[in-house]
Amino acid sequence: MSGHSKWANIKNRKGSQDKKRSEVFTKMSKNIMTAIRAGGSNSNPESNTALREAIEKARVANMPKENIERLLQKYEERKANLFNFRFEGFGPMRVPLVIEVETDNKNRSLGEIKLLFRDYGGNLGSEGSVDFMFDRVGEIEIEGELSGEEQLELIELGVKEFEGSNVLITGANQMKPISDRLKERGRKILQEEMVERCHQKVKLKSEDEVEKVMDLIDALEENDDVISVFSGFEFQ
């Protein structure tokens, strides 16, 4: 969910069908890779339930079987040399961004991401320049709405806040026990992940400003080495 998906419709209202299809496949690919990492780098869907579910969702979205198989094979070929790190920077209008990367070539990733920041009106920052504006939290999206009684129970378990009627924000260590409790109560989990939430958001003044920020975020997310992009802006 990466903290910005609700703004995507502003940018993509006039997107072509092919572009929309490509964006769906990109999202499905990211979901598959997330499931592999969450499963301890296990790329076998028979023993990784989350990966099996992510692949099934990709198939429902008409992602070709060969695309999925190629993605899994590529990960297996690279995983021995992969390592994780983060970039920090400012997008257009000084919107803070945190980018999580998994790569086998840090210099290549650094060069590509620096170029994207330059091309889309941002600035790649130094370590610590943005990180202090974000908190690591759990984000759980469920199917259906929670009753007031359920919300009270979940607050006692560690839910920090609710976004809308079906997204829960938890402490980093509380996400799994809260997710387990929801499942015990028969709630279907649509998505759960650790995210970075900004507590010093920049207020954007127009849809044009949102589009400029989203252009950079989309370009970053299309990079093969980027796992997640977290942003800090709001628009009303």
127 Cα distance to chain centroid: 21
CA distance 195 to 139: 7
More confident: 225 or 15: 225
Intrachain domains 5-80 and 83-132+199-235 with the same fold? no
pLDDT single digits (tens) 134-144? 999 999 999 98
**Considering only the top CATH level, what class is 5-80?**
mainly alpha
Whole-number average pLDDT of the chain: 87
Q: What does the angle CA 189 – CA 195 – CA 198 come to, to the nearest 5 degrees? A: 130
Whether this model's pTM surpasses 0.85: no
Give bridge partners of residue 139 from the DSSP assignment.
Answer: 169, 193
d(CA 147, CA 176): 21
CATH number for region 135-198: 3.30.70.980
Q: Which residue blocks in the chain are alpha helix, DSSP H?
A: 8-11, 17-38, 49-60, 65-78, 106-119, 148-157, 175-184, 207-221
Task: Judge whether residue 1 has pLDDT over 50.
Answer: no
pLDDT beyond 50 at 61: yes
In the chain, where are the structural domains located? 5-80, 83-132+199-235, 135-198
Q: What is the pLDDT of residues 69-115, one digit of tens each?
A: 998 998 888 888 888 899 999 999 999 999 999 898 999 999 999 99
- Mean pLDDT over 147-156 rounds to 86
What is residue 47's predicted lDDT score, i.e. its pLDDT? 92
CATH of 83-132+199-235, one of 3.40.50.300, 3.30.365.10, 3.30.450.20, 3.30.70.980: 3.30.70.980
